[in-house]
Structure 1
Amino acid sequence: MSTRKIAKYDNTFKDRHDAYKGHGTHVAGIAAGRKSTYGSSDETGDADGIARDAKIHFLDLKMGSGGMSDPGASRWFESIYNGGRGAKVMNGSWGRSGRPYSSHCANYDGALFENDDVVMVTSAGNKGDGGPRTIKNPGDCKNTFAVGLTRSSGTTGGDSQVLNWSAKGPTADGRAKPDILAPGYAVLSANSNPYRTNECDSSGGTRSSSGTSMAAPVVAGLAALTRQYFINGYYPNGYQSYGQGFEPQASLVKAVLMNGAQAVKAGQGIDSTRPHDSIQNMGQVNLITSLPLDGANKINAIVVNGKDIADQASDEMVIRVDMTECDEASISVTMAYTDPAAFPGCGSCLVNDLDLTLTDEHGVKYYPNGLSKEDTKNSAERIRLNSVSHNQKFLVKVKASNLSRQSQKYSLVATGCIKEESFVTPTEEPTQLPTYLPTNDPTGEPTSSPTNSPTDYPTGGPTQSPASTEQTAESRLSTSSVPTTKEPAQTATTMAPRRNPIYNGWPDLIP
């Protein structure tokens, strides 16, 4: 890759080049590569990255076949974030052994809490065949976005399977990991070759490889596109509206990607898997089911970006199902926040506890993450209902149950055929639900609750994507069945988003 792509190459720790068939070049190409033949742009999209017109800030952590140097959180942010003037999406396709929630994790969580506009994507690791709790740090930190591995069939992702060697959760203190899955098997991307420059063609400029190292940059590229969606004013209508743009918090970007993620099937060696388990958690990322995009889907979205909530306070929003111009029968609501760092070795590492609930008109309350009660372990919570009716109303509630400080920022996204009725921040805990919710109890609290948590997905597998799935991330990945070797995660890659027009259904990042 030439200077048309690289914003900066930091070789403070190692050298200024990648080895033949180097790991870092391949990872960077998946996230933001753009195929070039003799220095010109190739518009076919073959071997292009997800955010193909983003710039890359490359932090070299490895020399040839030698060991890797972890620069630590402070060096990462000094080099890459640069006081907010640098990249806002970081990808670390590497991992290291360490005791549960080490000082290493505390440092990364602290840096991400202080710089809460930065999304740090990490690979989950390739040791999943060793059983549960096989995710290494920084993937098992609270504020990093750990990505597991799927193998996709075709471009729709409808037959995607999570592979057995994709590292599994939970963490030692019971937090859900990996956060999300992405295609990472036989991915075609850039190949480093010391004997060739400024070229990326079929005679040696590209190669296929597999691993969570390949899945992570898929999510990093999608995170960059999601940021650009909001910055360029595509929210809320799905097309660019000047003057509507805003800078999204990292928690909003993560909430969007988790909210639209879809269930996958169990691959060879896995007996079974379902959403929110230690194998797939939120499922496989899919932008087409994550945000409205004119001409590509028919869903609405409501977002809350980095809103402060005080300790013991509640935020409430009423949403109404409106299928007048929309035909999506499900709704999905996800809340996420960037939690302060915990003490190393913590037995329960969540510091600030926010709780998400959804209550219907009959007083039935739904809880997140497949639970039948509040989630007190995770900083990301999702509720999905697969069958809703026109004009049905729901109360979305976020409560600050236990904070270590006066307030905590959170983000929220709700998608489906929905409209917002109201958003209120009560000055104190409400004594009853809104009047549209019937109740037979004098206290006003709902008198019934579901015996089971809502089913995330219908029986028989994941919800199929719309017909326009050629615009999803999977379309940029090779479906070749050529076997490849699992590679260890080693190299850090980052992207600096740029403003741009629409390309192939989703915003590209053009300098």
Structure 2
Amino acid sequence: MRKTFLSLAACAFLALAFTFAGPNASAQKQRHAPIRLQAGTFTPTLGETLNNENTPQAEGEANGSGYYLVQFNGPVRAQWKQALTDAGAEIVAYVPDFAFKVRMSASQARTASSLQNVAWVGAFLPAYKSSPTLQRGALAAYTVRVERGADVQATIAAISAAGAQVVNFEEDILRVAATAAQVDAIARVSAVAWIENYVLPEKHNEYGGGVILGANIANANGYDGSTQIAAVADTGLGDGTKAGAHPDIPASRIVKINNWPGKTDICFTKIFNDGPIDADSGHGTHTSGSVLSNGGASGEGKGVAPAAQLVFQATENYAQVNALCLPPGTPTQGYYLTGLPDKLQNLFAQAYKQGARIHSNSWGAAVSGDYNANSAEVDDYAWKKKDLTITFSSGNSGTDANKNGIVDFGSVGAPATAKNVITVGASENDRQGHWECDTSLTYQSHDLYQTGETCSSMGGQNLLGTYGQRYPDSFPVNPLKNDVTAGNQEQMAAWSSRGPVDDGRIKPDLVAPGTWLLSASQNLYQEGYGDPKNPRLKEYAWDGWGMPRNEFYKYMGGTSMSNPLVAGAATVVRDYYQKAHGINATSALVKATLINSAVDMLDENNDGVNDDKYPIPNNHEGWGRVNVADATDGTRQFVEEKPGVETKKKRNYQYTLPGGQPFKVTLVWTDYPSTEAAARNLVNDLDLLVVSPSGAKYKGNVFAHGWGKTGGKFDAINNVENVYVQSAEAGTWTVRVRGANVPYGPQPFALVVQGP
């Protein structure tokens, strides 16, 4: 076995290449596996590199250590890792394929290169610390992550010495203002792990959970969220008090309202702390209502989990914003999510400490599928707290830019690109013709499509409009152009962000209605109901889509609206497992249950024909539309495997079937967090194999026409794997879960089976 070693002394600035023969080179077969980085993919054991020998190296740390890649000769075994750490290396992160980023000295690197089963050791170069798509400007804002366990203050000092300005930091996440040349200097700081453009998070709203999702049936069966606490991180809640949140979100069900005002820095130059009120759009009140509102007297606006308790985290305030941190043309003052911390784990930790085991997030940054620092943060916390189910809206960046009548792929925002969340897209709502507005309101609608209309002039019903009428630049051709924005539950919302994410993972995971969603309205600054105007804006609060239903409920749209419906569904599923089985369900089990019971939509391309042209799994709906009634009907078997499996280990489960019925198997695991530098973000790779009584083998995620098929390859990208057999033969089926490559084991998992 031949091993290549790139030496990096603490003060070195040039790469030097060395080649070593392992102690058992003649006995082992060399396995040539690539290193997959965002910066590029290369196979070092074949002599391939991304950088020439004159590439500047990262400066060593004060103790003489540096960062290296150590690649093993195949799927990682626990004893191989132990030998590496025994040699003095500190393992920092996994990098595919079969490699680790480690902290060690040059002499320790030489020792590591001689270890049995080590194929290659090389320096972790500055060029590996950012994506080739990193946008550089004369002066721009960046997010910089410091290596785990490194000296943050020393790293800040080194960045400052390079001329850049560290304007804010939370633990190992830095906000930095830098020129293009300074970015290169920052990359040469040894303890800098990753550099990315700072992208301001935004709400995912755009200018019928009970029936469509089956929540009414689940609630009637006793699964209403009463054993659960759900957290919502959003703009604000009503007037900021428990008593004034909303008439149908009673104070008795609100655990805590937390205020996150944020801190001033180069982006937010001034913040006006309004407290936890919902002063502008009513976004936070609306999303909270979708999760757990009691609903109005006639049942309108009822949440999916109407008996759950609420932890609210208010993150929006009026602010003055530096244009450096905004997309072109965005106002430099207004209401922004100033309170969202760079260290997102602190947000989740507060809610978790206050009892929440579901966390709903209808916001994100438009990064077109990137796995960024926020994505890694979310995955890290989910790994640590495996009983916290986190949901994120996928974003509203769907568009038909190439004018082919199909929404373009690859637009999911972050942190929705994380592996361990439920990423939620938006389908169309269908209220069976009920789009009523309040005829007592005499002012003209502020909805551009309804210009000049009052509620009465529209006949007491909001005019919905088509995607082409409302978004002419985004959807210029049919069938999207003339498709009405609501009324067909089998269709997707055209603007819902599509997958896949950059490493090829299937996203979104699930969808729920997100157009013309009726939910709770904030009780401040409402036009026509006797309120004053917002003193900061000198105008009334946003009416949402069209005109309000009444003083307490209004319509809104976006994946912001679909996400809380799925968060509510997750709350109900946890409630089901608590009441029916007496367990505190893991996020993997909740996610697997919702996916296994989801409905394959029939008109994802919005052409008006229910032909299922794009069967699951696909980049429009992922695994389908949530059906919480089926998720809680008690017909599914489940396994929570703890502690899980190691590399090359397996678990077998057998199920006896009568035959002739569908057999659906879903495997989900909460994966170890990836490094942002990796081009593939799956760390612990499990394989799902389902074997029929006659020996036919079905691998996870090998599908045709919406159902599993034999053949194909094992999935090495997703941490969700399904086998759906349309008509199972009678007899005993074997379900096998195997650890293909588990660098951080053992790996727990959840298995949900429908059919026995």
The alignment's TM-score, normalised by the length of structure 1, stands at 0.71
Q: Is the 8 A contact 2:672 2:744 kept in 1?
A: no
Structure-2 change in CA distance of 1:330 and 1:399 (3 Å): same
Q: Which amino acid aligns with 1:226?
A: V
The CA distance in 2 between the partners of 1:153 and 1:189, in whole Å, is: 14
> Could you tell me how far apart the structure 2 residues matched to 1:351 and 1:413 are?
22
- Compute the displacement of 1:338 (Å): 0.6
Residue 413 of structure 1 is matched in structure 2 by 752
Give the alignment partner of residue 275 of structure 1, picking from 613, 616, 621: 616
Cα deviation for residue 19 of structure 1 reads: 2.1
Whether the aligned pair in 2 keeps the contact of 1:180 and 1:280 (CA below 8 Å) is yes
Distance between the aligned counterparts of 1:385 and 1:203, measured in 2? Answer: 47
> What amino acid does structure 2 have at the position aligned with 1:375?
D
Q: Which amino acid aligns with 1:303?
A: V
2:734 matches 1:395 = yes
Equivalent position SS for 1:394: strand
By how many angstroms is 1:20 displaced?
A: 5.0
2:231 matches 1:231: no
Matched, 1:348 2:618: no
> Which residue in the other structure is 1:27 paired with?
287
Counterpart check, 1:335 vs 2:667? yes
Q: CA deviation at 1:103?
A: 1.8
State the match for 1:494 in structure 2.
none
Paired residues of 2:372 and 2:415 also in contact (CA < 8 A):
no
Does the CA-based 8 Å contact 1:251-1:306 persist in structure 2? no
Instruction: Compute the displacement of 1:306 (Å).
Output: 4.5
Q: How does 1:59-458 map to 2 (within 5 A)?
A: 59-63=313-317, 65-69=334-338, 70-71=340-341, 72-82=343-353, 85-98=354-367, 100-129=370-399, 131-153=408-430, 159-194=489-524, 203-232=550-579, 234=580, 244-264=581-601, 265-268=603-606, 272-293=613-634, 299-322=635-658, 329-371=661-703, 372-389=712-729, 391-416=730-755, 418=756
SS at match of 2:700: coil
User: Could you report, residue by residue, the CA deviation over 1:47-94 in whole angstroms, capped at 9, with x for unpaired residues?
Assistant: 110001111111111125422132232221232111xx5200000000
Q: Please tell me the residue identity of whatever aligns with 1:286.
A: N
Local SS of the residue matching 1:217: helix
Q: Answer 1 or 2: higher relative contact order, Cα 8 Å, separation at least 6.
A: 1
Quick one: percent identity of the two aligned structures? Answer: 28
Gap regions ≥5 residues in structure 1: 37-41, 235-243, 294-298, 419-511
The separation in 2 between residues aligned to 1:136 and 1:63, in whole angstroms, is 22
Q: Is 1:361–1:393's contact at 8 Å kept on the other side of the alignment?
A: yes
Q: Secondary structure at the match of 1:368?
A: strand
- CA distance in 1 between partners of 2:508 and 2:641 (Å): 23
Match of 1:57? Answer: 311
Cα drift, residue 310 of structure 1:
2.3
How far 1:195 moved relative to its partner?
5.6
Q: Determine if the alignment matches structure 1 residue 3 to structure 2 residue 251.
A: yes
Shift of 1:303: 3.2
Residue 377 of structure 2 aligns with an amino acid whose one-letter code is N
* Matched-pair contact (CA < 8 Å) for 1:310–1:407: yes
Counterpart-to-counterpart distance in 1, 2:731 and 2:643: 26
Determine the C-alpha separation between the residues in 2 that align with 1:394 and 1:291: 24
Question: Does the 8 A contact of 1:337 with 1:411 survive in 2?
Answer: yes
**Cα distance in structure 1, aligned partners of 2:349 and 2:515:** 33
Q: Is the Cα–Cα contact under 8 Å of residues 604 and 620 in structure 2 kept in the other structure?
A: no
* CA displacement at 1:45 relative to structure 2: 2.9
Cα distance in 1 for residues equivalent to 2:604 and 2:366: 27
Bigger Cα displacement from structure 2, 204-213 vs 269-278: 269-278
Q: CA deviation at 1:186?
A: 1.3
Secondary structure class of the residue paired with 1:194: coil
Q: Is the 8 A contact 1:122 1:145 kept in 2?
A: yes
Stretch deviating more after TM superposition (400-409 or 267-276): 267-276
Distance 1:267 1:3 in 2: 43
Which letter maps to 1:228?
Answer: D
User: What is the Cα deviation at residue 211 of structure 1?
Assistant: 1.2
Counterpart-to-counterpart distance in 2, 1:73 and 1:215 = 22
The CA RMSD measured in Å over matched residues stands at 2.4
Look up the equivalent residue of 1:91 and give its one-letter code: S
Q: Look up the equivalent residue of 2:606 and give its one-letter code.
A: Q
Aligned mates of 2:744, 2:280 — CA distance in 1: 50
| Contact persistence 2:395–2:425 (CA under 8 A) | yes
The C-alpha deviation readout for 1:114-144, integer Å capped at 9, x for no partner, is 1111111000011111521101101011112
Where in structure 2 are there 5+ consecutive unaligned residues?
A: 1-245, 262-272, 319-333, 401-407, 433-486, 530-547, 704-711
1:325-366 per-position Cα deviation (integer Å, ceiling 9, x unaligned): xxx821111000111111113111100000111111221111
CA distance in 1, matches of 2:642, 2:566: 21
In the TM superposition, residue 272 of structure 1 has moved relative to its aligned partner by 4.2
- Structure 1 CA distance for aligned equivalents of residues 680 and 568 of structure 2: 32
CA contact (8 A) 1:31 1:220 kept: yes
Distance 2:636 2:574 in 1: 18
SS across alignment from 2:702: coil
1:431 equivalent in structure 2: none
Relative to structure 1, is the Cα distance of residues 363 and 272 closer, same or farther in structure 2, using a 3 angstrom cutoff? same
Whether the aligned pair in 2 keeps the contact of 1:369 and 1:383 (CA below 8 Å) is yes
* Contact preservation (8 Å) 2:427, 2:489: no
Work out which of the two has the higher radius of gyration on C-alpha atoms and give 1 or 2: 2
Residue identity matched to 1:377: I
Offset, 1:279: 1.3
State how far apart, in whole Å, the 2-side matches of 1:306 and 1:191 are. 43
- Give, in angstroms, the shift of residue 158 of structure 1: 8.7
Q: TM-score, structure 2 length as denominator?
A: 0.49
Rounded Cα–Cα distance in structure 2 between residues aligned with 1:223 and 1:301 = 17
Letter aligned with residue 509 of structure 2 = D
Match of residue 126 from structure 2: none
Give distance in 1, aligned partners of 2:587 and 2:294.
25
Distance in 1 between residues matched to 2:511 and 2:584, nearest whole Å: 25
Deviation track 1:190-211 (CA, whole Å, cap 9, x = no partner) reads: 00121689xxx95310011111
SS at 1:30's partner residue?
helix
Distance (Å, rounded) in 1 between the aligned partners of 2:728 and 2:633 = 19
Letter in 1 for 2:524: P
CA distance in 1, matches of 2:307, 2:751: 28
Q: Secondary structure at the match of 2:752?
A: strand
Instruction: Say whether the 8 Å CA contact 2:493–2:514 is kept in structure 1.
Output: no
| Letter aligned with residue 737 of structure 2 | V
- Per the alignment, in what secondary structure is the counterpart of residue 162 of structure 1? coil
SS state at 2:317 partner: coil
Deviation at 1:311, TM superposition (A): 2.1
Paired positions, count: 385
Find 1:45's aligned residue among 294, 299, 308. Answer: 299
Query: What residue identity is the alignment partner of 1:403?
Result: V
